[in-house]
Amino acid sequence: MSDQGSDQYGERHDDGDRRADRDFLADRFEGYRGHLRSVAYRMLGSAAEAEDAVQEAWFRLHRSDTREVENLGGWLTTVVGRVCLDMLRSRRTRGEEPLDTWRPAPSAEPDPAQDAVLADSVGVALLVVLDTLSPAERLAFVLHDLFGVPFEEIGGILGRSPAAARQLASRARRRVRGAAAPETDLARQREVVDAFLAAARDGDFDGLLAVLDPDVVARSEAGVTSGAAAVAAGAAGFARLARIARPALVDGATGLVVLVDGRPERVLTFAFAADRITVVDIVTAPDRLADLTIETT
């Protein structure tokens, strides 16, 4: 009788531990939900489908043993990427809507304010351009250029080598820039970059946050920094060099250049959405600088 009671107590204890683990995992997932929804929306261009992708990521998390996962955010981003890739491929087999009638779909449970935030942070024009890419190109471009996911992980999602993933992102980047060029408002972009430069010179953290997209990515030879707060902190530390930085057109795009003895020592180029900076590329390697066409303005 005592053995049975002990067994029953042990079973209840195990159930309690499992419930506590599930609750802890659910809390951690909720902390990443906004980021995952942002990734999925940029991948799919639909708030409803983005919500479905995030929910599928939760189901997969719930069914997986993640005790050995060191970077849960990265793991979840990879899962959402796989789910979105499958959804994009499925969408292509069903046939696509013509681009002239394409609009972001409303969410399954309408939340106009939330959907407006998503749309403003991406921009319908960018989503339309992204919709012209193949699923693999779109995944490589979005995950790497907008969220700083390494090509090793992107290659794993696609079942390709890191070099092949890099080529996909590069091809997508050229297509996005080429398609966006006629719509580009260089004057407005210059205003945003001027505000960024002024805030960096003054170490104005709030001023930097005002021109950075919440999910901005800064990339350099040293690595990738993600998120407005982290990028703003890095840019505030750029104050000394910012004082001698000058606005420039870099390969025809809005950027900044730091000249030392008349030669470029550092170049920053930017990507934009809804009048905010989404990507900052920082180039310091001499061989890469030599490949750029720089025109100070």
Contact 278, 272 (CB under 8 A): yes
Residue 147's identity, in one-letter code, is F
- Average pLDDT of the residues in 141-159: 88
| pLDDT band of 17, cuts 50, 70, 90 | low
**Phi/psi-derived region of residue 229, left when phi > 0, alpha when psi is between -120 and 50, beta in every other case:** alpha
Q: How far apart are CA 76 and CA 56, in angstroms?
A: 10
Place of tokens 């690595």: 223
Rg (CA), the chain: 22
Q: Order across the sheet with 276-283: list the strands.
A: 223-226, 212-220, 276-283, 263-273, 253-260, 245-250, 294-296
Q: 3-class secondary structure for the chain?
A: CHHHHHHHHHHHHHHHHHHHHHHHHHHHHHHHHHHHHHHHHHHHCCHHHHHHHHHHHHHHHHHCCCCCCCCHHHHHHHHHHHHHHHHHHHHHHHCCCCHHHCCCCCCCCCCHHHHHHHHHHHCHHHHHHHCCCCHHHHHHHHHHHHCCCCHHHHHHHHCCCHHHHHHHHHHHHHHHHHHHHHHCCHHHHHHHHHHHHHHHHHCCHHHHHHHEEEEEEEEECCEEEECHHHHHHHHHCCHHHHCCEEEEEECCEEEEEEEECCEEEEEEEEEEECCEEEEEEEECCHHHHHCCCEEEC
pLDDT digit string, tens, across residues 83-132: 999 988 887 665 544 333 333 333 334 344 444 444 444 445 566 667 77
Q: Higher confidence at residue 220 or residue 101?
A: 220
Place of tokens 């796989």: 82
Q: How far apart are CA 215 and CA 165, in angstroms?
A: 22
**pLDDT over 90 for what percent of the chain?**
22
pLDDT digit string, tens, across residues 33-79: 888 988 888 888 878 888 999 999 999 888 888 777 788 888 899 99
- Average pLDDT of the residues in 229-257: 86
Contact 158, 140 (CB under 8 A): yes
